[in-house]
């Protein structure tokens, strides 16, 4: 999303002066490469480019708790990407920026949402004004926020959490995990580059899931280096 747009814009001006074949893996594909194309190690071997930028982003962090793999449990990436459709009473595990966006998205569709957050406040990673707007919206639409709550187990009809040493439950029909993200694996793409001695750069969330600003900065730095 972020980093590749800036690499793309920078490269539009810089590439005409460069000789060679470059591969950009990530959302830059729309302008410089191929849409609907998964860059695989085979793709890199066949193309044998002069340089590769890997910006494949991050995927959801899995929660190592009992019940996280039950069929009524999905993750924020799939819900926001339209691949999963929670229904009924939804419990969202994780009240950071992503959990908040999931709650806004689902309440817009008329679903009843409860957010479980282990820290002492919701949306602590959001800016001040955005946090106030979300809090007002949650109050208006009735999103329930439970803080200091560490999720322990997911059952068919309830989520179990620990709060001040006490085990509690909140009932649910479906559960969405929004407990963070981790870089998607890049080892195979890197190995393919190493085999052919192709220089490569890993940027954005593919290094570590952070903010768009980090991805954009690394996109600009990479565009300048190339």
Question: Which residues are at the interface with ligand FAD (CB under 6 A)?
Answer: 1-4, 25-27, 38-39, 55-57, 76, 80, 97-98, 101, 184, 204-206, 210-213, 215
Shortest distance in whole angstroms from residue 104 CB to ligand FAD: 10
Of residues 168 and 186, the one with the C-beta less far from ligand FAD: 186
Closest to 27 (Cα-Cα) out of 223, 226, 219: 219
Shortest-Cβ-distance residue relative to ligand FAD = 204
SS3 183: strand
The pair phi, psi for residue 170, each rounded to 5°, is -130, 135
Of residues 52 and 206, the one with the C-beta less far from ligand FAD: 206
**Which residues have C-beta within 8 Å of that of residue 144, sequence separation ≥ 6?**
113, 114, 115
Shortest distance in whole angstroms from residue 167 CB to ligand FAD: 30
**Which residues have C-beta within 8 Å of that of residue 94, sequence separation ≥ 6?**
76, 115, 116, 117, 177, 178, 179, 180
SS3 210: coil
Of residues 137 and 158, the one with the C-beta less far from ligand FAD: 137
Q: How many CB atoms sit inside 10 A of residue 211's CB?
A: 13
Shortest distance in whole angstroms from residue 168 CB to ligand FAD: 27
Of residues 91 and 176, the one with the C-beta less far from ligand FAD: 176
Shortest distance in whole angstroms from residue 118 CB to ligand FAD: 19
What is the DSSP secondary structure assignment for residue 16, as one 8-state letter? G
- Strands 181-183, 174-177: pairing kind: unpaired
Shortest distance in whole angstroms from residue 155 CB to ligand FAD: 26
Of residues 172 and 189, the one with the C-beta less far from ligand FAD: 189
């Amino acid at each position: 999303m972020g980093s590749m747009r800036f690499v793309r814009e920078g490269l539009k001006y810089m590439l005409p002066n460069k000789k060679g074949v470059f591969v950009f893996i990530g959302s830059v594909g729309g302008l410089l490469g191929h849409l609907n194309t998964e860059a695989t190690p085979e793709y890199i071997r066949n193309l044998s480019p002069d340089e590769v930028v890997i910006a494949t982003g991050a995927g959801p962090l899995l929660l190592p708790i009992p019940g996280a793999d039950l069929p009524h449990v999905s993750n924020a990436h799939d819900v926001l990407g339209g691949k999963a459709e929670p229904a009924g009473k939804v419990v969202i595990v994780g009240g950071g920026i992503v959990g908040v966006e999931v709650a806004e998205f689902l309440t817009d569709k008329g679903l009843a949402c409860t957010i479980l957050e282990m820290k002492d406040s919701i949306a602590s990673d959001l800016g001040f004004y955005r946090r106030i707007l979300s809090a007002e919206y949650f109050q208006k639409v009735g999103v329930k926020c439970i803080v200091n709550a560490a999720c322990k187990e997911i059952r068919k009809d309830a989520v179990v959490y620990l709060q001040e040493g006490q085990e509690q439950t909140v009932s649910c029909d479906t559960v969405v995990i929004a407990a963070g993200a981790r870089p998607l694996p890049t080892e195979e793409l890197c190995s393919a580059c190493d085999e052919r001695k192709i220089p490569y750069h890993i940027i954005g969330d593919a290094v570590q899931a952070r903010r768009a600003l980090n991805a954009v900065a690394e996109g600009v730095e990479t565009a300048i280096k190339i």
